């Protein structure tokens, strides 16, 4: 694989080692609060702030939203102490979209960078997708982020994620500003995720 002096791999095809996942990551920014796109709150659902969430609860929701379908794995690779250090940081806010006592959506806002907020994780369980729940959750994310004295609200998504994610973020008022190629060990080979996870992504041993 040829790498040019500026870090660019060069045009053309490049082999990826077996056992690795490759994704194109798109970084997006919002420099002022976007105009809302109002939708009613999902029926029988409430957005709740979860103070100092238990790691087991968080892993369960994280897995149901993104691990099995979209290969979300970053938080699952952390031990409980490392995960709790993030989730219990006073500058990190975790919200759950709750329906009849069951969490069906996750909104995580990270204010640890002064003057900025990262939309660290955002998603719905498969049965909650559609019907406006995602738009409702994004409206609340924008409201909560810009209620703070920030200058930047940012998020990133990748080609492993839901195919509608990038378009959804753009329609929500985020602007793409940069792309990167991410290469990482495939979590299905280590046993972190089952081999049946992410069926849209080939598994190369």
- At 3-59, the pLDDT tens digits run 545 667 789 999 999 999 999 999 999 999 999 888 988 989 999 999 999 999 999
What is the DSSP secondary-structure string of 87-127?
HTSTTEEEEEEEETTEEEEEEEEE--STTEEEEEEEEE-GG
Kindly give the residue spans of alpha helices, DSSP state H, lying in the chain.
55-62, 68-70, 80-87, 133-146, 165-171, 187-190
- At 55-109, the pLDDT tens digits run 999 999 999 999 999 999 999 999 999 999 999 999 999 999 999 999 999 999 9
Residue 1 pLDDT grade (very low, low, confident, very high; cuts 50, 70, 90)? very low
Residue 140 pLDDT grade (very low, low, confident, very high; cuts 50, 70, 90)? very high
Q: Which two tokens stand for residue 153?
A: 């609200």
- Domain 24-188 of CATH type 3.40.630.30: yes
**Dihedral of alpha carbons 114, 162, 194, 99, sign:** positive
**Contact in structure between 132 and 10 (CB atoms under 8 Å):** no
């Amino acid at each position: 694989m040829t790498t040019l002096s500026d870090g660019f791999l060069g045009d053309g095809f490049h082999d990826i080692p077996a056992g690795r996942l490759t994704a194109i990551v798109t970084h997006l920014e919002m420099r002022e609060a976007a105009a809302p796109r109002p939708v009613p709150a999902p029926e029988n659902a409430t957005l709740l702030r979860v103070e100092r969430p238990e790691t087991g609860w968080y892993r369960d929701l994280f897995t149901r939203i993104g691990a099995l379908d979209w290969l979300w794995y970053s938080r699952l690779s952390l031990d409980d102490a490392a995960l709790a250090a993030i989730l219990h940081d006073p500058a990190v806010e975790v919200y759950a979209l709750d329906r009849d006592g069951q969490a069906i959506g996750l909104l995580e806002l990270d204010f640890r960078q002064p003057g900025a907020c990262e939309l660290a994780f955002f998603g719905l369980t498969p049965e909650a997708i559609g019907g406006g729940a995602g738009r409702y959750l994004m409206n609340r994310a924008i409201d909560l982020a810009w209620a703070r004295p920030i200058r930047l609200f940012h998020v990133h998504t990748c080609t492993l994620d839901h195919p509608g994610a990038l378009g959804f973020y753009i329609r929500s008022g985020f602007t793409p500003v940069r792309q990167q190629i991410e290469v990482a060990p495939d979590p299905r080979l280590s046993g972190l995720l089952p081999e049946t996870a992410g069926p849209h992504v080939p598994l190369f041993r």
